[in-house]
Chain A
Amino acid sequence: MRPAAPLWVLLPALVLLPVLALLPAISHGGGWELVGQFAAAALRPSLDPIVVRSVLDGLAVTAGIALLGWAASLVLGLVLGVASSRLVWRTCSGSGTPAGWIRRLLALPRSIHELLWGLLLLQLVGLQPAVAVVAIAIPFGALVARVVSDLLDALPTANLEALRCGGAPGPAALLIALGPPLLPQVISYGGYRLECALRSATLLGVFGLGGLGTELRLTLQSLAFSELWTGLWLLLLVMVLLEALVGWLRRRWAMPTRLGLGQRGVGRQGREILALALAMAPVLALVAWRLGIDPSALLQWQGWPPVGPADWAAVVALPWPTLVGNTLLLTLVAAALAVGLAPLLLLLAEPWPPVGALVQGLWALGRLWPPPLTALLLLFVLQPGLLTGALALGFHNLGILGRLLLEAAETTGARQQQALLAAGTGPRLALLYGRFSGLARPYLAYGVYRSDVILRESVVVGLVGATGLGSQLLEALSSFAADQLLALVGIYAVLTLLGEDLSDRARLWLLETPHGDGHPQEAGGTWR
């Protein structure tokens, strides 16, 4: 007995059963009134001019940090991506070995979450706007580099070989043969990374690196829910507008869809793309000036606070199996919640469009609401711990996966679903059989990748004592225990790299169609 494709997407939702069974044990009755106040405040956000101005200022800083971090990561990623492409090295120097070395080097910055980069840089160079920008640019740049090199190495090489046979020099042949097919995919992926950068910039703010996140955390901690909702609604507006803009540009330029199920080809509006890229330069300069970014200040290290000699015995004595086990369990529960609940909610809401709109609204909130703040909110009614952290991370990633599922559903299985509806099938079963069948493999492949991201993100819910490694790491940071910090970052990096390797294998397996007529890169293969 082997479950058919539509069931695959629902199976992770089975994690709800143990989660619901455990919830009564960790809940406390104290905060329901506060949760009610929080929910009620959504309808009456503060319109006090001082609050609105403060929120707008914070939002401007967050958006500026996101834009600069994103732009820097794209430039960094493109350069490093080309430098770590085996095809490029083979074409230019005859050997692909250096590409392998550069890839391995890039694995480390990629494996460390931007929050960790931010907190480490904060210790080294002090609080300044550039810290958040660099904290985003480093891991994002390494991620973009990997995607670019993967894309380059997967492109058909017939045109390149033809140009080389005609005597074209390596760099020129690479640019002409591989540039046009690479461009739309990089731009499409870049748009997605901008959304990620906005979320990350908000998260960094929660941890004191400036911008709206700081405002959100302070208002939540002081229970000023109306002021909190002023920030949330504005952030939601910006996020929805950004997603709509990215989606519109993707359609206008005929870019691949996020699950890679749609059209894949060279963008048709080359001039528009070029004009927009050129227009970005002065905008970025203006944003950097407004934020007071001073790159030279990054070079003025303030030195680590005085610390005692390393105590490696204490490091070894840490409860590593528990820390690692809790981190993995947290990741699995959060991933299963996010991956399984998105299709389940879509299915439940299918017959009622208003409920569907409500679910989508909830997902949008989940996407923009940083997990540590969800965790803090959950603490009103739940005890701190692994499950609370998993719920917070699961909610955030549910928002991301839900949107992706909806986006993919627009282009997959519509005709099959319509055929079933015409034959009298109910809307839920038509969705399950008609659409989820085609979506199952690419959606789960993305879900596997997302699990890999959740493992990295588990550090951000450390403040609710949830994550094992994450909470230990934050503790080491705040107590300047450099030895523990080094060991924990190392273990985190190893775990995330192992997770990345596992998820890569799982995605390849999922995306191989039973008859080998699909290409692993076709669906979800590029979304890191």
Chain B
Amino acid sequence: MQLAAGERVALLGPSGAGKSTLLAVANGLLEPDQGQVRWQGEPRARAVRARRHQQARIGTLWQDLRLIEELTVQQNLNAARLAVWGWPKALLNLLHPLETAACAAVLQRLDLDPALLNQPVSALSGGQRQRVALARLLRQEPLLLLADEPLASLDPRLAADLLALLLELACPPRALLLSLHRPDLLHGFDRVIGLRAGQLVFDRPATALEPGQLQALYAGCEAP
């Protein structure tokens, strides 16, 4: 399986197909039992620092967002920079949030008021939290965006908005790999990958996907 710069790929499959596992392998939280992960043509680094450097360019949007409730929006956004910051800056950020202009810029890009920067995350509405999580992702400046079922618990309107935003943010050279459980939201993706029981069932352009393949993927049988 390969992902090119700027590509937007949807990952489909029934529960237990291995979508989250694949994403965890991609962001380095899990090691593959077999095979090899390559990043920008090179095998994934084994040395701790080099590996963290690679991971810093891979951003993950979690279904439960994983914002740090006790910190302000700005401190949460800056948490995305910890991989490249040293200890002094990381500690200073907890005393007095740093890089206000950069944080305000990512908020504005997502149509959020920069006045939110000083708000604790726990004071935000559901929609604001979604966008702050996205802003944190942008603040990380990743080359690969991973999203693990980000639309699962959203109402249809919010889900459509968030998906549109993610597709918009995944512009070259940034790639997007997003796991979905709703085949009706495939519009805008370049490729669709189907997984079942840890196996690749199909990998084809989104425009070439046939309804029968989707039905077979979820029904657990071979496509006609």
Interface residues of A (CB under 8 A from B): 1, 3-7, 413, 415-416, 418-426, 429-430, 432-434, 437-438, 440-441, 513-515, 517
Which 6 interchain pairs have the tightest Cβ spacing? Answer: A424-B83, A424-B55, A424-B56, A419-B66, A5-B70, A424-B52
Interface residues of B in 159-216 (CB under 8 A from A): none
In the complex the two chains form, is B94's CB within 8 Å of A423's CB? no
In the complex the two chains form, is A4's CB within 8 Å of B70's CB? yes
In the complex the two chains form, is A418's CB within 8 Å of B82's CB? no
**A416 to chain B: which residues have CB within 8 Å?**
66-68
In the complex the two chains form, is B94's CB within 8 Å of A6's CB? yes
In the complex the two chains form, is A419's CB within 8 Å of B70's CB? no
**Minimum Cβ distance to chain A for residue B152 (Å):** 15
In the complex the two chains form, is A429's CB within 8 Å of B87's CB? yes
Q: How far is the CA of A437 from the CA of B76 in the complex (A)?
A: 11
Chain B residue with minimal CB distance to A436? B70
Q: How far is the CA of A475 from the CA of B84 in the complex (A)?
A: 59
Task: Tell me the total A-B contact number using a CB cutoff of 8 A.
Answer: 96
Which listed segment binds A: B6-14, B57-65, B99-107?
A: B57-65
Partner among A5, A423, A517 whose Cβ is within 8 Å of the Cβ of B80? A423
Chain A residue with minimal CB distance to B75? A4
Q: How far is the CA of A421 from the CA of B120 in the complex (A)?
A: 22
Q: Is B130 an interface residue (CB 8 A)?
A: no
**Minimum Cβ distance to chain B for residue A88 (Å):** 36
Partner among A1, A420, A441 whose Cβ is within 8 Å of the Cβ of B82? A420
In the complex the two chains form, is B70's CB within 8 Å of A438's CB? yes
**A7 to chain B: which residues have CB within 8 Å?**
91, 94-95
Q: How far is the CA of A339 from the CA of B91 in the complex (A)?
A: 19
**Minimum Cβ distance to chain B for residue A439 (Å):** 9
Q: How far is the CA of A399 from the CA of B46 in the complex (A)?
A: 36
Q: Is B115 an interface residue (CB 8 A)?
A: no
In the complex the two chains form, is A437's CB within 8 Å of B140's CB? no
In the complex the two chains form, is B82's CB within 8 Å of A426's CB? yes
In the complex the two chains form, is B94's CB within 8 Å of A4's CB? yes
Chain A residue with minimal CB distance to B55? A424
Interface residues of B (CB under 8 A from A): 24, 27-29, 51-60, 62, 64, 66-72, 75, 79-80, 82-84, 87, 90-91, 94-96, 120, 122-123, 140
**A424 to chain B: which residues have CB within 8 Å?**
28, 51-58, 83-84
**A418 to chain B: which residues have CB within 8 Å?**
29, 66
**Minimum Cβ distance to chain B for residue A415 (Å):** 5
Chain B residue with minimal CB distance to A415? B66
- A-B CB contact pairs (8 Å), 16 listed: A1-B96, A4-B72, A5-B70, A418-B66, A419-B60, A419-B62, A421-B29, A423-B55, A423-B56, A424-B55, A424-B83, A425-B83, A433-B79, A434-B68, A437-B69, A437-B70
In the complex the two chains form, is B70's CB within 8 Å of A515's CB? no
**A413 to chain B: which residues have CB within 8 Å?**
68
**B24 to chain A: which residues have CB within 8 Å?**
422
**B96 to chain A: which residues have CB within 8 Å?**
1
Q: How far is the CA of A430 from the CA of B75 in the complex (A)?
A: 13
In the complex the two chains form, is B71's CB within 8 Å of A437's CB? yes
Chain B residue with minimal CB distance to A438? B70
In the complex the two chains form, is B87's CB within 8 Å of A4's CB? no
**A441 to chain B: which residues have CB within 8 Å?**
70
Q: How far is the CA of A5 from the CA of B64 in the complex (A)?
A: 21
Chain A residue with minimal CB distance to B72? A4
**B64 to chain A: which residues have CB within 8 Å?**
415
**B72 to chain A: which residues have CB within 8 Å?**
4
**B52 to chain A: which residues have CB within 8 Å?**
424-426
In the complex the two chains form, is A422's CB within 8 Å of B68's CB? no
Known A-B contacts A4-B71, A421-B29; the reply to A433 vs B95 at CB < 8 A is no
**Minimum Cβ distance to chain B for residue A492 (Å):** 37
**A429 to chain B: which residues have CB within 8 Å?**
82, 87, 90
Q: How far is the CA of A422 from the CA of B68 in the complex (A)?
A: 15
Q: How far is the CA of A423 from the CA of B84 in the complex (A)?
A: 10
Chain A residue with minimal CB distance to B67? A416
Q: How far is the CA of A432 from the CA of B68 in the complex (A)?
A: 11
Chain B residue with minimal CB distance to A2? B95
**A426 to chain B: which residues have CB within 8 Å?**
52, 82-83
**A513 to chain B: which residues have CB within 8 Å?**
122
**Minimum Cβ distance to chain B for residue A355 (Å):** 16
**A517 to chain B: which residues have CB within 8 Å?**
122
In the complex the two chains form, is A423's CB within 8 Å of B95's CB? no
